[in-house]
Structure 1
């Protein structure tokens, strides 16, 4: 017998909107990547923004972008700097979890601002959600996404959220060229939270594991065969997380055959009688649409829509 969460869902705090001519920080909390700084500066300049590149972006420590100390300091400095209006991660890879127990979450809460990334950055989304309580953005990163020439919806989705063009009551746009699939019909309201499935599972048993009470769970992944996706979902089920959900939004699961994935997802979530919508173009895909983590949303799986129930940024 399953137990549906009856927790009162408290939306996370909205963050200040990215202003016109704002200043954006780029940090590398996880892995390294070669960055063409001139290209990056020009890309931002043509969109009306300036860019501050933090030291770890230009460093490489094996599979990490700089030492833990450098990457942690960059994160703290980017949040505390009053001239920075938003923070964009360079790339994923690995490294974010190494920082979780050393982050000053009170500092982040006092200087809350848009924070954007995905993949390994999921660890930071989960930790900020639990310990700082403000909206963050599962969205494109600088190197592979914005400078990588991904389709126009990637950029449009990000900046429409950060600039405050989407407010409470807005339906998040999804390209008609990429049809969505209703796996379990229904309508549910809750905080949207999640990200990379492998990273969600990796934080289980730690103080930074996902708080699943009353949420709309978002999941995506890449380079994981079907049996591993099964294992990850089973891990969450056995940990009691799936019985607490109000709905599920499935992003891109790259490398897995679509029909086989749909069968697994139906098997996994059908016992919980919650709405499940699949095929949302967020994650390791093109386009890579942005999603507000921690924000109150309504998922209509049958109607194939996701609607904001709160402002996620506050226009200045």
Structure 2
């Protein structure tokens, strides 16, 4: 399948807002994020059902699908940013009009539960999307690092040529090496639940990136075991573990997770590089990662680099 590359954002463009996962209990954050986007020179278009709450999943799904399809269909909208993660986006996958999305490729941004949407869209259309900051979680008050990666990735084809980790996130080389492939990944809990469905992209010749939050080490172990038993770790050409504890430090859990990551390195192909500590996850200093784009990773005990091999946005 041919990769679809969305057009870059330009000042004055319209950014659409949708909420395909959970609602936000702090509506002031939405307005703060809207003000932030407008202050940076963009028009903002909320979807009809943005942040609506309906306890009936059938009604909620129809509203979410209407908003998603409407934003891709709207010729004035150049990018779509999700409200937050949580739960619910995976219920939409069977009903999404992927032909509509393929015919109207544009920027789509979100992470966490939005992993299901990003992976399904890439699997079915080849459209590169962006696993990055959302309205109610980061964009109401982003850090300089998050800002730089978000705007750099969405507005400049040259920015993706080299991504740098935040200085507070130490990179640990689990296995040295260099590899090239399509960046596939996101939230581990969501991704592992998609195994066996037609919405998970093929893992052959991919660079697998993963993060999670509020999951004890034994659950991370179980999910990585699932990926290993399904043969997906062995198919990947490189593995990048992000942040799994959010901003909270738990030395006991961290040590257990380190051992788990080391263990599953052995389930990967023996020639692929593996690292942990990527600036990606439920953290304030958040890297924006283009899902489906071809990248080269290189890691050693003294260096780490992540560079795009093709444009992730077009001028």
TM-score (norm 2): 0.92
C-alpha displacement of 1:211: 1.7
278-287 or 81-90, which moves further after superposition? Answer: 278-287
C-alpha separation in 2, matches of 1:42 and 1:138: 22
Q: Aligned match of 2:44 in 51, 55, 68?
A: 51
SS at match of 1:16: coil
C-alpha separation in 2, matches of 1:153 and 1:172: 11
CA-atom RMSD in angstroms: 1.8
Alpha-carbon distance change, 64 to 220 in structure 1, aligned in 2, over 3 angstroms: farther
Alpha-carbon distance change, 47 to 167 in structure 1, aligned in 2, over 3 angstroms: closer
**Is 1:290 equivalent to 2:282 in the alignment?**
no
CA contact (8 A) 1:58 1:65 kept: no
Aligned equivalent of 1:253: 244
Q: Show the 5 A alignment for 1:118-137.
A: 118-137=111-130
Aligned equivalent of 1:4: none
C-alpha separation in 1, matches of 2:91 and 2:172: 36
Alpha-carbon distance change, 308 to 66 in structure 1, aligned in 2, over 3 angstroms: farther
Aligned equivalent of 2:307: 307
Alpha-carbon distance change, 38 to 151 in structure 1, aligned in 2, over 3 angstroms: closer
SS at match of 1:253: coil
C-alpha displacement of 1:222: 0.4
Aligned equivalent of 1:278: 276
**Is 1:231 equivalent to 2:227 in the alignment?**
no
C-alpha separation in 2, matches of 1:64 and 1:17: 34
Alpha-carbon distance change, 210 to 234 in structure 1, aligned in 2, over 3 angstroms: farther
Aligned equivalent of 2:150: 158
Q: Show the 5 A alignment for 1:77-92.
A: 77-92=70-85
**Is 1:216 equivalent to 2:212 in the alignment?**
no
Aligned equivalent of 1:183: 174
CA contact (8 A) 2:228 2:234 kept: yes
Write out per-residue CA displacement over residues 31-54 of structure 1, whole angstroms, 9 at most, x where no aligned residue.
Answer: 011423543332112100111111
33-42 or 290-299, which moves further after superposition? Answer: 33-42
Q: Show the 5 A alignment for 1:32-51.
A: 32-33=23-24, 34-36=26-28, 38-51=31-44
SS at match of 1:265: helix
Alpha-carbon distance change, 109 to 226 in structure 1, aligned in 2, over 3 angstroms: same
C-alpha separation in 2, matches of 1:241 and 1:94: 24
Moved over 6 A (4+): 63-66
Aligned equivalent of 1:174: 165
C-alpha displacement of 1:159: 0.7
CA contact (8 A) 2:16 2:71 kept: yes
Q: Show the 5 A alignment for 1:199-210.
A: 199-210=190-201
Q: What are structure 1's unaligned runs of at least 5 residues? A: 1-9
**Is 1:61 equivalent to 2:61 in the alignment?**
no
Alpha-carbon distance change, 299 to 63 in structure 1, aligned in 2, over 3 angstroms: farther
Q: Aligned match of 1:267 in 263, 270, 277?
A: 263
CA contact (8 A) 1:32 1:65 kept: no
C-alpha displacement of 1:56: 2.1
CA contact (8 A) 2:174 2:265 kept: no
CA contact (8 A) 2:157 2:311 kept: no
Q: Aligned match of 2:19 in 28, 37, 40?
A: 28
CA contact (8 A) 2:33 2:139 kept: no
